[in-house]
Amino acid sequence: MSEEMAVARSRKLMDQLAAHVKQGDHVCVVCEDPQQRLGAAAQYIADGLRQNEFVMYAADAATTATLRTMLSEQGIDVEAEIARGALNLPTAYDAYLSDGEFKPDLMYETFERAIDSALAANFSGCRFAGEPVWAIDRAELRPGLIEFEARLNALFSSRKAAGLCVYDKSAWPAEVVRDIMRIHPVAVVDDAVCKRNVFYERPELVDDSADPESQVAWMLTQLREMRTEEARLEVALEAGQLGSWELDLRNDTSVRSLRHDQIFGYDHLLPEWGYARFIEHVLPEDRERVSTAFQSAIKHGRTWHFECRIRRHNDGAVRWIEAYGRPDPEGSCGERVQRLLGIVVDITERKQMEEALRETDRRKDQFLATLAHELRNPLAPILNGLQLMQSKARFDPELQQLHGMLDRQVRHLARLVDDLLDVSRITTGRIELKRERIELKSVLAGAIEGNQHLIDSLGHAFVVTLPETPIPLDGDGTRLTQVFLNILNNAAKYTPPGGRIELRAERVDGDVIVRVRDNGMGMQAERIPAMFQMFVQGRPSGEQAQGGLGIGLPLARQLLELHGGSIDAQSDGPGCGSEFTVRLPALPAEAPATPQEAKADAITPASAARRILVVDDNVDAADSLAAFLEYLGHQVHTRYDGQSALDELETTGADVVILDIGLPDLDGYTVARRMRALQPDLILVALTGWGQEQDRRRAEEAGFDLHRTKPVSPAALAADITQIGAVASDGA
């Protein structure tokens, strides 16, 4: 090997030693050239002095002289370190032998006293190293040396100390090198540090029947291969920007990769790192949670997985990290965990993206709510006007037909608006089912009624087969009607005019199965899963569209799943029609069902005239509703902002206030609170385009008796007011 190559390998080894040797370690260096041996020794000494550790290195005079020079080249003032008691460089014979003999017990006691003295002198720890060259020529002393080296493992692991033993393979007998490798937890081979010496953990792996030279050669080869595997793992960790760590719980020290310390804001590996230093970087508000998980992992031998925020050392930036740690089965004693192995990764960018997605989702929800509000506002006066038209032209067949067409279209628009909001509610888990005992027939009747005009207009033959025995369900009748409304609507739209649609329901064991089959355009089998994904329409892009937003079937599936049910589809291919199968859990046949409330769309004169104040900044909506209520016989006033409404109530009074929320000056919640203070017995009805669950809660908190979302049938609204008044009268 050339001198330049030897120097390069020595530097590499020195860097590895700086990264991996820590207190508690006992390392053996098996080397073949002086440069490697001296480089390892110099690095070991320099690192210890820089960490304010007491260092003792015993070697022959020539080695000691060379080490002095190498330490000076690393910026170490050798004489100053000796003078302050931090460095001791005795000869091997002086350090190890007493009266020419090696006495293991005496030497062990000497090391213990040196550790006590160093710690008492405020050194952070101790480093011992030596080259017991005296045992090369005196074979009778070697058993004592092996025994002594083995005993040092317990000493170093229990005290703030570490040991480095250098053995030149060319100078020592093979059987000594073999035994030395068996008793050191950490081994250095060539220019690499093997942090896990498998032959220390499992000495029986060595074939004792082979000659010592073959044993040593095989052991070194195996350690090189293991180190190569470790290097591959390091490459993989680096590619994933993962930092690796091993935490020794006995002395709170660790071995880490450079990437680990970089994550915490250090340009190089720190000399010391343990749990105590790690937790200092964790933000105070996260520390208790992380510490609780840490203690649980140690106590129960479980995986330690957490996410937390840290403050980086170099720039003070707050970063998110994710870490995994697991007990090392080879590094534990009985049930007591002594070592954790793990990885850490900076997940700040992922967290930022997650937050951006949440913000995007929040904005989407806000957009949909605002869109619904803006769409509902113009729908409200249209529906009001339509019902007023119907009431005044009830004997004109043409106007009645026109009214029916407009009414259906307005309700269709309103249903599309509700579907848009349901997408947000379901995907964010904010939808609430109002479950009750209902009858399947009433659910299906509502769905059929909602699609009857479409089915009739397309000339479809519509066959309904229902069991004679009632089938009660536990569910939200409105939502289940919405499910079948969407399925039937889908069948009607995608069946050419003059087609056939069949709806069949039956009880099968504890479930009810409803099938909707058509002989329409059908679909390819591979497209069926996509039909239940949001915003996917019945035909591929580019083909003739049948309308719709592509959310009806996905909503149906999700609503059914909330009820514990399911929906499946099948088709024999394009042109062969489709069949949708719904399965829902049914209640026992004897369970009574609660019939759904009849629709309150009938137009009947008021039994008792009331003074009603309608407040809405949408003038058309306010005036059209007022006109309808006046037609029913009520005395109605209109106002278009909050303050004038308050003034009107204070001067004129009212029995009922129908109040919009989004007013230009004062919001409806504020107006409602002030009105309630002025007139406690007032009937307050919120009529608004804001219809999300939080809007309903805010309305209730503000004192509203009723919350209705635009557009609402004015006849139904009048019926609600009558019912509230009746309840109030009964209570009085």
pLDDT, tens digit (0-9, with 9 covering 90-100), for 462-492: 999 999 889 999 998 888 988 998 899 889 9
CA 396 centroid distance within chain: 62
151, amino acid identity:
R
What is the residue extent of each domain of the chain? Answer: 3-226, 240-346, 376-431+605-732, 436-585
Instruction: Output b/e per residue, 43-79; b: 16+ Cβ within 10 A.
Output: bbbbbbbebebbbbbbbeeebbebbbebbeeeebebe
Instruction: Output b/e per residue, 437-467; b: 16+ Cβ within 10 A.
Output: ebbbbbbbbbbbebbeebbeebebebeeebe
> What is the mean predicted confidence (pLDDT) over 104-132?
90
**Does pLDDT of 604 surpass 80?**
no
Residue 625: pLDDT band (50, 70, 90) is: confident
**Does pLDDT of 401 surpass 80?**
no
> How many C-beta atoms lie closer than 10 Å to residue 392's C-beta?
11
> What is the mean predicted confidence (pLDDT) over 5-25?
66
DSSP 400-428: HHHHHHHHHHHHHHHHHHHHHHHHHHHHT
pLDDT, tens digit (0-9, with 9 covering 90-100), for 244-263: 888 888 778 787 888 899 99
pLDDT, tens digit (0-9, with 9 covering 90-100), for 323-379: 988 887 655 445 677 888 888 999 999 999 998 888 877 777 777 777 776 777 777
- Token representation of residue 119: 């710690």
Instruction: State the DSSP code for 679.
Output: -
Residue 599: pLDDT band (50, 70, 90) is: very low
Whether the model pTM is above 0.85: no
Would you state the CATH architecture of domain 436-585?
A: 2-Layer Sandwich (3.30)
CATH H-level superfamily of 376-431+605-732: Response regulator (3.40.50.2300)
Closest CA to 10 of 25, 23, 32, 28: 32
Q: Within 494-586, where are the H helices?
A: 552-562
Tabulate helix, strand, coil % of the chain (nearest 5).
Answer: 50, 20, 30
Instruction: State the DSSP code for 91.
Output: B
For residue 198, what pLDDT is reported?
82
Hunting for tokens 């002989």 — which residue is that?
519
Give the Cα separation of 127 and 44 in Å (integer).
8
For residue 614, what pLDDT is reported?
94
Give the Cα separation of 68 and 524 in Å (integer).
83
Q: Which region among 150-159, 416-425, 705-714 has the lowest average model confidence (pLDDT)?
A: 416-425
**Does pLDDT of 450 surpass 70?**
yes
H-helix or E-strand spanning residue 505? strand 500-508
Parallel, antiparallel, or unpaired for β 339-346 and 242-248?
A: antiparallel
CATH code for 3-226?
3.40.50
Residue pair 88/53 in contact (Cβ under 8 Å)? The answer is no
| The two domains 3-226 and 376-431+605-732 share their CATH topology (first three levels equal) | yes
pLDDT, tens digit (0-9, with 9 covering 90-100), for 662-720: 888 898 999 999 999 999 999 999 998 777 778 888 999 999 999 988 877 777 888 88
Give the Cα separation of 227 and 222 in Å (integer).
9
- Token representation of residue 675: 């009105």
CATH code for 240-346?
3.30.450.20
pLDDT, tens digit (0-9, with 9 covering 90-100), for 155-182: 988 888 989 888 888 888 888 888 888 8
H-helix or E-strand spanning residue 483? helix 477-493
Which residues fall within 8 angstroms of residue 62, CB to CB, at 6 or more apart? none
Hunting for tokens 């309150």 — which residue is that?
600
